A and B are shown apart, each in its own frame.
Chain A
């Protein structure tokens, strides 16, 4: 007596194997579609923009004529912006993380702060622009200055930095902490001399990634009224300025075909910034990855 009909089983197995193969193919296809999109996007931008890249492009101010249009004001403006955003957001972010990880007791208030940080990360950037417009531009009368834009951007990326810094602090081994207390160090001494130095790689990596988000953000800058056409360089943080994404937005939205090439060239500069920042982040991560 046969309990298993061999042919029937083989037949059934075959169809199941075919389904498995077909879907495996489909999943691979879908994944490669996403990768393909990235390849096309980068290819288009490089082929469109490379022709316009030159030293003149870097050293000229914006112009009505596409062939004369340069990115100087935007490039310097973005660097000024980062000079405000980096210290502000890192001090606020790391300070908050140290408080939450080292000092805060498990209370309702702490849970509330933590949930609030998660929710803040989900607020659209354009809404942060509205906050900046009301609080920094109008109420504190900073106008459309580097400082107003810098503070707005700092608040925008604050949740990302806090979460990254918290993870970095949490991953410092308990033994280091205990050893420090054992030597008679106070809490603050332990934080400053032991925990923060050990957490710095993680903090830096997270902060650089957050800053690279800030450098590409456009919407908040438009909302707080950052101008595009600027023929001078800012001299201080109270001056107005323009930034790379603003300039790219302006060029992209012009009807003339030539300005699209200029926009693509601007995007190459912006992407170069991002690549440099990300490489630094990856380098830091790799260098300090397995210290403990």
Chain B
């Protein structure tokens, strides 16, 4: 045995290809990590380039300020984005009305009232609710919620804004509940106990101490949920209809931005037609809406965070 440990070390250091691998690996991994950045660049470039092509066919002012969306008309095609935005906002508004009270109440219950055992049962169930594919929610809206609404309010049409709104609301409840609960649970225990020791009831602690302390997290959760509601596609495609309208009624058929993209995609609007490019312009508008919401959520949770 002529090899000592020193020899082995010297031998191993001398191995060229091992050193080469150690140098090569970070480069490969960096390239892999840049895929996510390239994806963002790809999304933005795709949307911008195709939207610019769209604007060579339709004027920017017509698109931004027009209140009629009639791409399939054979007389005069009109591309005013507002009816699609209004449709999206109607669904989002109802979703928020459904999800915010329920989501925040569930968060308060789980964080302030529920025992550890109850929490361990309810949280996974909420996770299940969050994991259900949106196509399933869409089916539920169309075949259960809409008929149910119609038995109570006969004026509700088969396609409307209320049914998908309620179901999108159900879909975002887990998001609001779990993110808000995280925010409330992270309020330090001594603050909660201090308030209880002063003789506050649990309700008073929750409303006057925990909610204000966790407000940044709660608001951020709601904003993220709104962003999710705006981008939701299958529920509104199935139950919302395909009639872009610029009005304030919730009982009639509507069309959201996402549902329009789906409607065009499953039809056979040929490559290169104005309609084909219009889905990118609508997609770009949708992208800006959701991006602004996500940035707002990040801003709120950073700017208004209470540090303990």
Interface, chain A (partner B; CB < 8 A):
16-17, 19-20, 23-24, 26-31, 33-35, 37-38, 40-41, 44-45, 48, 91-92, 95-96, 98-100, 103-104, 112-113, 116-120, 122-131, 133-135, 138, 155, 158-159, 162, 184, 186-188, 209, 212-213, 215-219, 222-225, 245, 248-249, 252-253, 260, 263-264, 267, 270-271, 274, 278
Contact = CB atoms under 8 A, between A and B. Distances in A.
Contact of A218 (B25, B234, B279, B290): B234
A248 B135 CA distance: 8
Interface stretch (B34-42, B58-66, B71-79, B247-255): B34-42
Contact of A131 (B30, B42, B128): B42
Contacts of A278: 131
B202 A216 contact: no
Given A103-B26, A122-B224, A27 B108 contact: yes
B143 to A, nearest CB: 5
Contact of B22 (A20, A100, A188, A217): A188
**Interface of chain B: mostly helix, strand, loop or mixed:** helix
A33 B102 contact: yes
A87 B173 CA distance: 32
Given A124-B258, A131-B43, A223-B262, A218 B233 contact: yes
Contact of B136 (A212, A216, A224): A216
9 contacts: A30-B109, A41-B144, A48-B143, A96-B35, A122-B293, A129-B261, A252-B139, A267-B136, A267-B139
Contact of B36 (A28, A96, A127, A133): A96
Contacts of A112: 37
B18 interface: yes
The residue among B135, B203, B234, B294 with the most chain A CB atoms within 10 A of its own CB is B135
Given A116-B36, A130-B283, A184-B9, A125 B231 contact: yes
A256 to B, nearest CB: 12
Contact of A127 (B9, B113, B135, B286): B286
Interface in B118-171: 122, 125-126, 128-129, 131-140, 142-144, 170
B49 to A, nearest CB: 8
Interface of B: 9, 12, 18, 21-22, 25-26, 28-30, 32-37, 39-40, 42-43, 46-47, 50, 101-103, 105-106, 108-110, 113, 122, 125-126, 128-129, 131-140, 142-144, 170, 173-174, 177, 201-204, 224, 227-228, 230-234, 237-238, 258, 261-262, 265-266, 271, 279-280, 283, 286-287, 290-291, 293-295, 298
A34 B129 contact: yes
A123 B261 contact: no
B33 A100 contact: yes
B291 A16 contact: no
**Interface of chain A: mostly helix, strand, loop or mixed:** helix
Given A249-B237, A270-B136, 16 more contacts: A16-B201, A30-B109, A34-B103, A92-B35, A103-B29, A112-B37, A124-B230, A126-B286, A188-B25, A219-B237, A223-B261, A245-B234, A249-B238, A252-B142, A260-B139, A274-B131
- A-B pairs, 7 with minimum CB distance: A124-B231, A216-B133, A30-B105, A95-B32, A99-B29, A27-B109, A20-B201
Contact of A34 (B36, B170, B230): B170
A248 B143 CA distance: 13
A249 B234 CA distance: 8
B231 A99 contact: no
B102 A222 contact: no
A26 to B, nearest CB: 7
B129 A126 contact: no
Given A44-B143, A252-B138, A123 B290 contact: yes
A224 B261 CA distance: 11
A100 B30 CA distance: 8
A57 B294 CA distance: 42
B200 to A, nearest CB: 9
Contact of A120 (B36, B233, B261): B36
A134 B47 CA distance: 9
Nearest to B202: A20
Contact of B105 (A31, A38, A209): A31
The residue among A117, A124, A129 with the most chain B CB atoms within 10 A of its own CB is A124
